[in-house]
Amino acid sequence: MILTTLEQPILAAVPALAAFTFKFLLIGGFVAFVILFKPMLLGIWRATKLHLKQYFSKEQQNLRLNLKNRQLIYKAVNDLDGHSPSLAAEIRALSARI
């Protein structure tokens, strides 16, 4: 089969056109999938975020803060124990009331 000069550019463009069409359909399919399943995908995203970064209630935050403060006070008292035992005893008594 002898190709004329007009047919050669058309036949050369067919693979490029097929690749473009495939990419266009692939992107269109992905967009349709996202639009169709958007509520489910958002739910999965939120559940994953909640699982990875848990939020604590105000009560839990206050308990953690109190525990952290107590540990800080105990550390300071243990450091003071060698220098000033009476001051350390007073701080222990004060921290017991908290």
Q: What is the pTM of this model?
A: 0.42
Give the pLDDT mean for 51-64: 90
Handedness of CA 59, 64, 66, 67 (dihedral sign): positive
Give 64-95 pLDDT, tens digit per residue.
999 998 888 888 888 888 888 888 888 888 87
Contacts of 64 (CB under 8 A, 6+ apart): 56
The three-state secondary structure class of 4 is coil
